[in-house]
Amino acid sequence: MIYQIAICDDCTEDRERLKRLLRGFEDEKTTFAITDFTSGEEILSAGLAFHMIFMDIHMDKMDGQETATQIRKKDRRVILSFYTGIGEPSSANFRVQPYRYIVKSMSDGEIKEDLAALINYLHEMIHRPALWAQAGRKEAGIRLDLDDIVYITKSKRTSVRVWPTREFMEKMGLEFQKTELTCEKQLGNVHELLEQHGFEYASSNYVVNFEHILAYARYEIHVKDYGFLSLTRSKTRQFRKRMGEYMLKKAGYQEGDEAARA
């Protein structure tokens, strides 16, 4: 598969280094079509879609933080990674949900480790399953990518209700929280389909997408757009274990890594 990659950096030498390292991951199944940009204004005006974007922070005129913010407003699925000479990330950097923060002073070997994690995540995102649901009495099904789903509850014995993000509902022209999206699957079957993609039971009546958890306490979860959900006592141990594994994986640790076991 050909993946569309953008590198936005005003330093030619840094762009060429990153391209050289990326090319080392190409094989018969993976090819990168890499497009260079030298400024934030240039990448925004191009109007192109990418699977992954590497963004320098310090650039003339519009800096990388503002550029990434504008990109994220239009495309919340693109994988963003900062590629910068600034040694420490700021809290603002994380508001655009970068998957990696690569510092240019790192060795080639260290950068390759981050690139390997990014490419593995890219493969996973491309091949993630989707869920189809019905909106009210409309006959046409609606496709929801997993990032569109905050949580899923039992509806009837053989169906579930899907609770999407506010952004998704507005994009589809549907009333948030008023239009019901249902799927003719049992909750157990949905969990089996999605458990390897960051979904877990918080109660016997619903599963939650780890990606949209803002915070959680002992028996309570704060989720995006919907406020607080209960985390039942019987599900707490497994939920916390799975969420920890998800966060480690997102940080780039693989099962069996010393850091993940610690």
- Find the DSSP H helices in 75-129: 108-126
Query: Would you kindly state where each structural domain of the chain is located, as residue ranges?
Result: 2-126, 131-250
Percent of the chain with pLDDT over 70: 94
Contact in structure between 118 and 101 (CB atoms under 8 Å): no
pLDDT band for position 255 (cuts 50, 70, 90): low
CB neighbour list of residue 46: distance below 8 Å, 6 or more residues apart: 35, 37
Both tokens of residue 97? Answer: 């949900």
Residue range 131-250 forms a domain whose CATH class is: mainly beta
Q: 103-125 pLDDT, tens per residue? A: 999 999 999 999 999 998 898 88
What number of residues does the chain have? Answer: 262
Question: Is residue 262's pLDDT more than 50?
Answer: no
Angstrom CA distances, 57 to 11, 45, 83, 227, stand at: 12, 18, 7, 33
pTM given for the model: 0.61
Domains 2-126 and 131-250 share a fold: no
**Averaged pLDDT for residues 40-52:** 92
pLDDT band for position 137 (cuts 50, 70, 90): low
Q: Which of 160, 170, 151, 162 is nearest to 223 (CA)?
A: 151
Segment among 132-136, 140-144, 169-173 with least mean pLDDT:
140-144
Tell whether domain 2-126 is in CATH 3.40.190.10: no
Alpha carbons 23 and 42: distance in angstroms, whole number: 24
